[in-house]
Amino acid sequence: MGRQYVFEDVLTFTGYGRGRSSAVMHFSGSTGAEYNMFLTDTEDLIKAKDIIDGRVKAHWTFCKRGSNYGIRLADIELGK
């Protein structure tokens, strides 16, 4: 398997809801892209980053849980 895709962006929290079988937080990127984050991944985000006015700048990567895809914080893996 190849290297995980990592991108840097300022994401804005837009709400929360349910995925196919999981609870997720919704974010919008600076380019208008929409992302979901599993609630299990929000702990790292809350502990590691400042969220100001619903916005957070970080390095992100994608993850899969069951048949669902989402994003997670990649800064910890990158040592940031």
28-44 pLDDT, tens digit per residue, is 999 999 999 999 899 88
Rounded Cα–Cα distance for residues 80 and 28 (Å): 22
The pLDDT score that the predictor gives to residue 78 is: 61
Q: How far is CA 63 from CA 36, 53, 54, in A?
A: 10, 26, 22
DSSP secondary structure string, the chain? --PPPEEEEEEEEEEEEE-SSSEEEEEE-TTS-EEEEEHHHHHHHHHH---BTTEEEEEEEEEEETTEEEEEE-HHHHT-
Could you read off the pLDDT tens digit of each residue along the chain, which spans 80 residues? Answer: 345 789 999 999 999 998 667 899 999 999 999 999 999 899 889 998 999 999 999 999 999 988 888 999 997 666 65
